[in-house]
């Protein structure tokens, strides 16, 4: 039995930020694998499972739009309060407009699984929650101010993308982040992983981190 799922997501705006752009926010051309994983985890996640994104189908043409957004210059901390009125900055952002994707993914069991954690249990929980529109928190398209709508794709095959034909090189894209923690469980190092994204007939096949790092 296969435990893979297909999820259609869409929204009015999206911003999958390129990490090399330090001041102005500029989106990748399409959804990143880490953003896709975040949407899946917003619907169903437990320590016993780990989501792996297999393919991303780009269902609508890539359209960018420039807007200006209010941001603050500093980060909040336990001993520092941000006064947005005094620290507000207006910055330009290059967003994606009117996006739609189909995420193909599967989950793997982790070493944190318990006796009651079975693949069948988590697969059925994901199907039920996706069908009913349930989520732990509202999934979003790169930034929390751009909420994602979602629905389960029940068909065995994903329809061909009407927006793209042929192969397109999208350049290097963020695949995911891994973290090194110390004995206290604190993150001491964050490691980004990138891959060369190629879209064939609107479909991007996502490599595993282990294969990228060979």
Does 55 reside within a domain?
Answer: yes
Asked if 87 and 20 touch (Cβ cutoff 8 Å), the reply is: no
DSSP string, 86-103: HHEEEEEEEEEEEEEEEE
Task: Judge whether 25 lies within some domain.
Answer: yes
The model's pLDDT over 144-200, given as tens digits with 9 standing for 90+, comes to: 999 999 999 999 888 888 889 999 999 999 999 888 888 887 888 888 999 999 999
pLDDT value for 20: 86
Within 10 A of 39 (CB to CB), how many other CB atoms are there?
Answer: 22
2-31 pLDDT tens trace: 579 999 999 999 999 998 887 788 999 999
CA nearest neighbour of 206 among 60, 62, 30? 30
Q: Which helix (H) or strand (E) holds 119?
A: helix 119-132
Residue 171 maps to a domain: no
Q: Answer whether residue 111 is part of any domain.
A: yes
Report pLDDT digits (tens) over 111-123.
999 999 999 999 9
The answer to whether residue 124 sits within a structural domain is yes
Give the pTM.
Answer: 0.87
Range of the domain at 13: 4-73+88-160
Does 138 reside within a domain? yes
Lowest mean pLDDT segment, chosen from 71-80, 173-182, 205-214: 71-80
Q: Is 41 inside a domain boundary?
A: yes
Q: What is the CATH number of the domain that holds 37?
A: 3.30.70.2660
């Amino acid at each position: 039995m296969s435990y893979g799922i297909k999820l259609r997501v869409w929204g009015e705006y999206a911003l999958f930020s390129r990490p090399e752009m330090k001041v102005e926010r500029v989106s990748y051309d399409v959804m990143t694998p880490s953003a896709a994983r975040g949407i899946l985890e917003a619907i169903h996640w437990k320590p016993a499972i780990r989501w792996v994104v297999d393919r991303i189908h780009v269902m609508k043409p890539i359209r960018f739009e420039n807007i200006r957004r209010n941001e603050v210059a500093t980060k909040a901390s336990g001993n520092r309060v941000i006064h947005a009125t005094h620290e507000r900055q207006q910055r330009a952002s290059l967003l994606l407009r009117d996006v739609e994707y189909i995420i193909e993914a599967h989950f793997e069991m982790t070493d944190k699984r318990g006796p009651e954690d079975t693949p069948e249990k988590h697969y059925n929980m994901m199907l039920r929650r996706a069908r009913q529109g349930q989520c732990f928190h509202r999934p979003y398209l790169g930034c929390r101010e751009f909420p994602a709508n979602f629905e389960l794709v029940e068909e065995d095959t994903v329809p061909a993308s009407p927006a793209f034909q042929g192969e397109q090189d999208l350049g290097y894209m963020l695949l995911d982040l891994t973290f090194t923690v110390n004995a206290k469980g604190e993150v001491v190092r964050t490691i980004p992983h990138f891959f060369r994204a190629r879209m064939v007939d609107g479909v991007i096949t996502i490599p595993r981190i282990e294969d990228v790092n060979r």
